[in-house]
Amino acid sequence: MNLEQLLVENFKLNLYEARVYLALTKGQMTPRQISAESQVPLPRIYDTLRSLEAKGFVEERGEKFSAISPQAALEARKAQFATAFAKEQDQRARWAEELVKKLGPAMRSAPPDTQDVILLRGINAISSKFREVISASKDIMLVAQKSLGAKEFFRPYLKGRSTPVRILVPKHAALTEDDISFVAQSGFELREAENLFLDIMVADDVVMLGVPDPSSQEQFRSIAVLIISEPFARSVRRSLDSIWRTASQIKPRSK
């Protein structure tokens, strides 16, 4: 990926802005010189420079313009993204609260869904359902295998839970000390065992089974099957309990 692409794709400059900024990193220039160096048409140079000024990439010095240092400009741009994202999140939170107020009563009054099996495609659908299920469950057991690679999607929903959670991972799983400390500080139990082949969640009368989805183009290519059945959940929990009893406990290292 060349420098133009990096600026366009990662820092949201348009192509003219990227070319002008890269040209100015070679030294101060007049608008006409910038046009010749960057191959940006002269009639577009002035609005491009004003846009770059607003984004913190260039500054005007008399009749010439110069580039802000890459470190300062890119750090400022990252801060702009963070501020904009925080504002968007605040707005999303307000709209989410409004939607919950309006849609929640309607869903509670609707007849119960009789479907016992639900197919979830993609990590976002899976993590959303994961949050919904664990927030309403009291007896939770997790088998984390492939899902360890996507733990950042699930960990926030476990944080701050008062309900005990038991977690099984494969022997020699790639756990960090931070992972182990998080589990311990949350009051959860963590054990490792051999022959764990699936990602599984058992929460009250719900079982979620996760498998890879080779047809997906996502980074985390997954499908999960959600089964709502008290007898099935009881059977799966019984099987996992037998593995749990012989599994080895994982604790944080003593400092």
Domain ranges, ordered by start, for the chain: 1-110, 117-249
Tens digit of each residue's pLDDT (9 = 90 or more) over 9-51 = 999 999 999 999 999 999 999 999 999 999 999 999 999 999 9
How many beta carbons lie within 10 A of that of residue 206, not counting itself? 22
Across the range 82-107, mean pLDDT stands at 80
CATH architecture of 1-110: Orthogonal Bundle (1.10)
Strand order, beta sheet including 189-193: 117-121, 222-228, 206-212, 199-203, 140-143, 165-170, 189-193, 248-249
Task: Give the CATH class of 117-249.
Answer: alpha beta
Tens digit of each residue's pLDDT (9 = 90 or more) over 102-145 = 776 765 555 555 458 888 888 888 888 888 888 888 889 999 88
Q: What is the DSSP letter of 161?
A: -
pLDDT of 108 = 56
pLDDT of 10 = 92
Tens digit of each residue's pLDDT (9 = 90 or more) over 218-234 = 566 678 899 998 899 99
pLDDT of 38 = 95
How many beta carbons lie within 10 A of that of residue 145, not counting itself? 16
To the nearest whole number, what is the mean pLDDT of the chain? 86
Residues of 89-103 as b/e, b for ≥16 C-beta within 10 angstroms? eeeeeeeeeeeeeee
**Radius of gyration of the chain from its Cα atoms, rounded to whole angstroms:** 26
Q: Is pLDDT above 80 for 246?
A: yes
